[in-house]
Structures are given as structure tokens and as C-alpha cells.
Amino acid sequence: MTYLTKLSAAALSDLLISREVSAVEATRAHLEHITAVDTDLHAFLHVAGDAALATAAQIDARRAAGEELNPLAGVPIAIKDVLATQDMPTTAGSKILEGWIPPYDATVVARLRAAGLVPLGKTNMDEFAMGSSTEHSAYGITRNPWDRDRIPGGSGGGSAAAVASFQAPLALGSDTGGSIRQPAAVTGSVGVKPTYGGVSRYGAIALASSLDQVGPVSRTVYDAALLHDVIGGHDPLDSTSLTERWPSMAAAAAAGLQDDALRGVRVGVIKELSGDGFQAGVTQRFNETLALLVAAGAEITEVSAPNFEYAVAAYYLILPAEASSNLARFDSVRFGIRVNPESGSLTSEHVMSATREAGFGAEVKRRIILGTYALSAGYYDAYYGSAQKVRTLIQRDFAAAFSQVDVLVSPSAPTTAFKFGEKLADPMAMYINDVTTIPANLAGVPGMSIPIGLAPEDGLPVGLQIMAPAKADARLYTVGAAIEQLLEASWGHTMLSQAPALTPTEMFASEEGAV
Amino acid sequence: MASAELMDYDKALELFEPVLGFEVHVELNTKTKMFCGCANEFGSGANTNTCPTCLGLPGGLPQVNKKAIESSIRLGLALGCEIAEHSRFARKNYFYPDTAKNFQTSQYDDPICHDGSITIELESGRLVTVEIERAHMEDDAGKLTHMGGATGRIQGADYSLVDYNRGGVPLVEIVTQMIEGAEHDAPEIGKTYVAAIREIAKGLGVSNARMEEGNVRCDANVSLRPRGSNVLGTRTETKNVNSLRSVERAVRYEIQRQAAVLHAGGTITQETRHWHEDTGRTSAGRPKSDADDYRYFPEPDLLPMAPSREWVEELRLTLPEPPAARRKRLQAAWGFVNLEFQDVVNSDLLDAVEATVAAGASAQAARKWWTGEIARLANVAGVAADTLVTPVQLAALIELVEAGTLTDRLARQVLEGVIAGEGTPTQVVDSRGLAVVSDDGPLVAAIDAALLGQPDVLAKIRDGKVQAAGAVIGAVMKAMRGQADAARVRELVLERAATIE
Ligand SMILES: [Zn+2]
């Protein structure tokens, strides 16, 4: 049954609909693969095997009864641990939430369940989504399936690694400054950050409210579109949720597979997101992709976004400011762990303080301190106020660019996956890694990362980022699917089929000793 | 009060000019909370009206209650405020266990209502205009109960319980400009201003406006400026002064206390102070400074609001008659002297009297019953007078009295029956058999017996000393067990005295 794990969600869906394969079989195949490979990769923080099989059995029963189901019904999915699930622990990668089971489902999770997808478990992430490597998880690292000594990206390294290693065909992520797109890029998978307000944030543990967006993670553009259609759309519980009626993203992706889908498409290359600081192999694959686009009839223009230069600086003021307030609720009073101070009186202040001291990791504390400072009286205008102005300027850069082109492209990340520990000691090096993805969050526009090949120097995946104007998410799917098809035709295979085979973990090997 | 601690009030006023400011929180009576769908309800089981949003659970998000915005705008309009074309919420960040999110969702630089004023009338007839700086929306905190201590305060408590039912209930905070020139009237201005706010909120129907249930809460700022100086003194903020009388007492106390401190060469600490109803004193709370840093920033989870001008004008049309104008109109219509009218107003019975008059009773009778017997019974029962009987019931009772069916004394018994749930006044009269005996037969017999029993009195009456009849009337009423109309008895006594053998 291992072939079931190699299928795209759409292909699996066909087999489920034709009842050649049952949801239970599909689920079991994925659970077995998780058991085989995830002890080593550690994409999952929690696997809900029994619940998944029970859900799958229900779907099979409903399908047998002739019920009309969503195309993704019975397809397994992994859920980033930042999303509230009422039947699974939800920790956001933080010790402070160890063992917490929310009394409710995030809206996107409720929509998954309503569509009959089968949640397999919760995936690892940087604590509270703060990081680009998943090394900041309180529960240990996740390995990149392409090279187990390298990071799977972050913060959604778990979701990306799960999908790239065939442990799930689909996953949910959240993207505040690249947490869906950068892991997709470094693991050779597909990730989409929808337009801000396109997908409900209700039940997504907030990092930076004005930047966070939940989105799909998958191995194909079409699969991401199918998932986007399930989770997207207005939610009255999220006041920033847009009230538009959205077109079908799956239909948009399908349109991209038609002949000549790229003919006449105006593609803007962002001057500021290239050159210095970009790995040679990344630039090379990027340029080759542009050449393919030209050959397919797209018009390439270089556009300038002069204020992108300030994006990282502005982002690292806005994000910590909002995060410092969003994370204030972790105080031991209503949920999560409680730690009593070793000395002194047990006042609520002391208990809160001791809990936060013990429950938050170093990166979280760093950002809370940064944000608290940036919002302080006397500094607000200079920091938070100025950062908001930069945000407006970046939005204007996007508006100017989109007046000339249909989509903007850049490498998804400046480099391929780096090694564990490489950037841990230098937060600035880690932060600058998000230079390509941050502008979309600041402007609220949608962005997608698709794999475009392996960097010659290290054989690791390179991603292409495609961005569209706000609310034009469908355009990403059309263009993304078209490019994906072109590339796969030029390679003669999908990119993930080239990933190294994962050896099943030898259970208990370490306990047996090296005898 | 020890004179070392407090300066004589008149002397304090001689040396210092009091400067006041008030922050009044009005709890709105919307069906649901400010930012979630939970019931806004007093008295439910602890933490039953809660959800991920108002419990501040990870992932919870706010949704604005449109009715709360509407109520806030109507309140602002009634306070003569401008309604902002653009308004937004802001987070006020501070850690406290009753604040589930550890920030309050409030408003900072873009309040929904600003720049209003109301004119209040003091008992002396002095009119004082209080300028309103702003009226902004925010969510209430939960309620802490400190357990194990002797005083119920946090000091000395073993632990505290928190009930988040109140957390997220919509509040409007009304902030005045500095009130100068209050002079001797400062305490009365405080009381009258808060009463006016309460009355406005109640009249609009946007709040239950019961101070005893915390629907209206007042923080009173007081500072003293030495006579001849133009430099403002340091202010204190006395928190949660929750009755009209306490507002008056707390302001007076702070003036006397601060004057004593300043006169002795001391300085006033800028701080919050707690009002103690039992001792009539304030005590130092948390030091507070203008540098208190709540790290306000615009609430990113909510969109800015832009109430349309059309909507605002529509809401303006729904405003009731301003309370002050209404009071003037009613006093004139009822013909009450000031004292009578104040009695009704101070007992919070204006609505009740008005409704009773509307139900057909005379204004004087309605006033007499509400502020008299009913208020007395309500006081004994510890409830609000207007919860005991309805205006319609009272009007029916008054009608029975005026028709001569009931004496006042009998009517009080009927009232008790009505309150006890025995039915309408007529039903109680019937079931308890309380009607005045209208057949003069037994009455005449009783009068004759009384007159003959007191021949000296009879003689005096016959001599024209009519006031002597009182003694006979008393005896007759006693014999009739009160079931006789005193006026009719008097009439008959004089008649029988002239004719009796
Ligand atoms: Zn609630």
C-alpha cells in the first residue's frame, strides 16, 4: 500500500471516489509510513492514529451510503500545531502549552472535518511560529527529508517535511513572514500564503495578527488549490476575514494546465530580490525558470520595489510588537502549564512570571522584549509608528508593480536549506533569510512557492515565489500550475520523486546498544 | 474624624480651590458581550457565559457587537458629543488575572464619541456645565473573589477565584474635562453629575444603570490648587465609588484629606485610592503616574469603524427627551413643590410615578404611595421599590381609596396582599374582605354606643366644641376594627350627637 502515499491528493481522491481504495486503506498507509520514517524526521508532534482510522471509516460508510462528498473526503492531512484542535493537543511548539487540548476547533480545522478530510496529527513548528528553521520548537528539531542534517525551513517545517516525505499528501500551515513558503522552498513542496483575510484565523494561535495567514501545503499546485477551496472564504468569527465570494482555486489551477496558459502573462521580476546574498544555484534555477516562461510566451519585465529594502526591519518591529501583546495571555491562569516560583510569595504576578520564564523559549522571550520595547511610550512613534509607515510604502511598491505586471516572481528564499545550528547563534542571519517572503505579509498580498529544481552546488531544492495582487489568489494557482507543468515536462518527473529514499527507523536501536 | 488627618471643610475651601474630574463606566445592557456571542447576563453560574474569545484562549478572536456601537453612539449623542467619523479599538496592555487576554480592548486616540457637555442643576438651583472629553468603548474585566482573608480583599487572602462571566461585557467610559470653579459645591457636583449620567443611560435604555449592581461605576479625580496659584495640584483617583452618596462623601473626604496634608507641608502622591464605604475614608492604592505605560496600539484583530453620518442622524432621532427637560415638564404638570419632586427623583421613582399617573392615578397620590409605604416596604425587603408593585396595580389601589372603598389603613393591607401575589387590588379586597363598611347601620350603632359611653364628650360636642369629636371617632374606629371611612365617621358623629336621645 505504500504507493498510496506517493499519490497526489487529487489522484488519491479519484481512487477514493471510484472506491478502488478506501479511506481507511489510504489512512492506514500513511500511518504506517509515519511509523516507519517519522521517528527520525520528527515532522509530527502528535499522531492521532485511532481517531484518523475512525474518521476514515466514517467517510467510507458515508460514501458507501451514496452520500455526495467533497473531492477531498477521505484524504489524510497533517495540521500545523498552531491550529486549535479539540481532539488533539495544541502546543504551537511551546512548552507553555504542553498537553493543552483546546475546547474548540479552529475554523479551518472545522472546515477540514466538514469536508471529510482525515486529520493524521499535528506537525512540528518553531515555538509560536517564531523562526525559519523549526529549530526553535520546544519539542526538538524536524529533519529535512532531502538531507537529514539540514533544516526543513520554518516555522512550518513539520508540515513541509511531512508532505515532502510522503507522510501526508496535504498539510495546513500558517505564514506570518514566510512560514509556509520558505519551508515549501527548502523541502521541494508547494506552499501558499493566501490574501490576508482570505482564510479564517479563528483558532490559529496568533503570532502577529496583522500578518498571520493560514494556508495550504502540498506536493502539487492543484492539490493546494483543492485544499484552499475547503478552508477559504468568509468567517464571521474573524473580523478581518474578507466577505468576497471567491472563485474556485481548483478551477484556476486546472486552467493553468491548459495549453498556452502563460501566453501573454506579464511577469515582473523584483530587482531588489536578487543578486547579492542569493546563493548561485538559487539564482541559476530562477533564471532558467524565467527562460522557460519566456519560451512559453510570458512577458518578463524587471520591476523595482525600492522600499522592500526596509521590509525586514519593519517586520521585526511590527511582529514582536503584536506578538508581545498576543502572547500576554499565556499566564498560567486559565490554560497551559503553571510553574510556581522557587522562592518568594505565590502571588499571581510571581506565578505568571515563573511560568513565562520556564514556559517560553529564548527566541520567544527575545521577541516579547523587543515588542514590549517598541510599543513603549516615547518609542512608539519611532519604532512601531515608523514600521507602519514602511508598511504603507511597501504596499505602494506592490500597487505600482501590479499596475505593470500580472504576477511578481522571486526566489522563495535566498538559499537552499541550511544546516542545523548554522544560524542559531545569529538571530539577524536567521531574520534576513525571510527577506523574500516578508513583503507579501506586510502588504497582505498572496504568495506561493513552487519547486523549480535542485541547486547544482548542493543538490537541494530551490523554490520560486509567485505573488499576485490582493484577492487575486486564483491567478497564483493558474500561473503556478502552468509553471509546474512546464518544469515537470522539462525534467520528465516530479521533483519530489528525486528525493532520497528514507530508511525506516530501526525501532529501539539505541536501547539495544551498538552490539 | 481626627482633625490631624482631615481639615475642616470650610477651612479647606478657604485655602484651596478643588479641581475635579470624573471617569464614569456605564455597563451596556446588550444581549451579548462586546466581542463574542456570550450572554451579557448578571447572576449566571460562574464562568458559564464564556467562550474561547472572552476567556482569552489561544486562537480566540473578537467580533464587534453592533448593538454596543449603537448604544455607545446614542449615549454619546445624549451627552452632546461629536461622533467620530473614524474610530478604532486599541489594546491597553497590562497583566492582571481578571483580564483574560492580559490586555483590555479599549479605545485610545480614536474614541467613538468626543467633545460633549451636559448641564446639571444643583439643589441650590446653580447650573454647572460639565465638559465631556470623550466617551469610549471597552470590554469589562472578570470578577475576582479573594478567599480566606478576613476582609475579602486581596491582602491576606489565601487564593482568589475568578469569574469571567463579566469579562467582555461592553462598557462605555465617559471622561470629563477638568471641572474648575466647583468651590463648595464640589461634592454635590460629583453626586449630581454621576446621577445625571445614570439617568441619561437609563432613559436611553442602553444600561440597566443600577449602581448597586455595578452597572454605573465612578472614579473620582480630586486635586487642590492653593488660592492665588495657577498651578494645578497633584491629583488622586478614587476608584469604584459605587453609590451617589459615596461619590459625594469621597470627594469631600479627599478635599479635606489633601488640604490637611498640604497645609502641614506635605505633598500629595499621585495614586489611585480605594473608597471604604464603612469607614467613609479613602486609602492609598497603587501609585499612578502619567508615565503608566499601557503600550497602547491599534487592535489588529478588528477593523477601524466608520459610522455613517446617516446612521448617526437616524440614531439621533431615537433619543428620548433629555432628563433635565423631562424633569421640568413633569414637575410643572404634577404641581409638586421642589421638596416633593426631589424626593421622587432621589428615590429613583420618576418613571414609576409617571407610569402610575399615566394609569389614571392623581400625581400626589402616586407620589405619596411610592415614596411612602412602598419605599418603606422595599427598604425592609432590600429591593428596589419599583420591583414590588406595578404602576397599574397602584393606580387601581388609589382608585379604590378615592372611591371610598378603602381607607388608607385598609389600602396598606391590600398593598401587602398585592405584593404577596394575591392578585389585583380588587381581588385582594374581595378575598380578604377588606372593603369599607358602606352600610351606615352598624356604624351608627357603634357611634351611638360611643357617644352614650362618653356623656361629657357628647355634651361638649353639643356645646359646639367640635374638636372634642376626636375622642369618639377614635373609639368608633376601634370598634369597627378600622373598616370605616374616618371622614364619614366624623360626619355621622356630628349628626348623631345632635339627634341622639
Ligand atoms: Zn465569550
For residue A39, what is the domain's CATH number?
3.90.1300.10
Provide the 3-class DSSP secondary structure of residue B222.
Answer: strand
A423 is catalytic: no
Confidence band for A510, pLDDT divided at 50, 70 and 90: very low
Q: What single string gives the DSSP state of each residue in A288-356?
A: HHHHHHHHTTPEEEEE--GGGGGHHHHHHHHHHHHHHHHGGG-SSSSSS-----SSS---HHHHHHHHH
Chain B contact present for A386, CB below 8 A: no
Confidence at residue B290, expressed as pLDDT on a 0 to 100 scale: 56
Number of domains chain A is built from: 1
Q: What is the mean pLDDT of residues A376-398?
A: 95
Instruction: Please give the pLDDT value at position B1.
Output: 44
What's the Rg (C-alpha) of chain A?
22
First to last CA, chain B: 70
How close does chain B come to A333, measured CA to CA in Å?
Answer: 7
Q: What is the ipTM of this complex?
A: 0.95
CA atoms of B301 and B62, how far apart (whole Å): 7
Q: Which of A165, A179, A200, A332 is catalytic?
A: A179
Residue type, B415: L
In a domain, A195, yes or no: yes
Q: Is A332 a known active-site residue?
A: no
C-alpha cell at B217: 461605576
Query: What number of helices (H) and strands (E) belong to chain B?
Result: 17, 14
% of chain A surpassing 90 pLDDT = 92
Which three cell numbers, joined as nine digits, stand for B173?
A: 467610559
| pLDDT of res. A505 | 56
Q: A241: domain range? A: 3-309+392-501
Cis peptide before B431 (omega within 30 of 0): no
In angstroms, how far apart are the furthest CA atoms of chain A? Answer: 72
Inside any domain, residue A346: no
With beta carbons under 8 A apart, name residues in chain B contacting A238.
61
Rounded-to-integer distance, Cα B413 and Cα B406, Å: 10
Supply the CATH classification number for the domain B440-499: 1.10.10.410
A101 touches B: beta carbon within 8 Å: no
Across the interface, whether the CB atoms of A321 and B103 are under 8 A apart is answered no
Helix/strand/coil percent split, chain A, to 5: 45, 15, 45
Cβ contact B295–A90 (<8 Å) = no
Give the start-to-end residue ranges of the domains of chain B: 9-294, 322-432, 440-499
Q: What pLDDT, in 10s, does the model give residues A47-79? A: 999 999 999 999 999 999 999 999 999 999 999
Q: Which of the pair, B451 or A390, is modelled with greater confidence?
A: A390
Average pLDDT estimate for B159-164: 93
Q: Is the pLDDT of residue B477 over 90?
A: no
Pairwise CA distance, residues B450 & B350, whole Å: 45
Residue in A149, A202, A144 with CA at minimum distance from that of residue A174: A202
Q: Which of B102, B159, B163 has the highest number of chain A CBs within 10 A, making it the mutation to test binding with A? A: B102
Q: pTM of the prediction?
A: 0.86
What's the pLDDT score for residue B409? 83
pLDDT per residue as tens digits for the range B255-302: 999 999 999 999 999 999 999 988 889 988 877 655 579 999 999 999
Average of per-residue pLDDT across B71-92: 98
Residue B329 forms contact with A (CB below 8 Å): no
- Cβ contacts of residue A307 below 8 Å, gap of 6+? A390, A393, A394, A396, A397
The position carrying cell 501583546 is A325
Beta strands in B184-308, from DSSP E residues, in sequence order: 216-226, 236-241, 271-276, 281-287, 297-298
Q: In this structure, is residue A14 part of a structural domain?
A: yes
Q: Do A203 and B62 touch (CB under 8 A)?
A: no
pLDDT confidence of residue B158: 86
Residue A371 lies in a domain: no
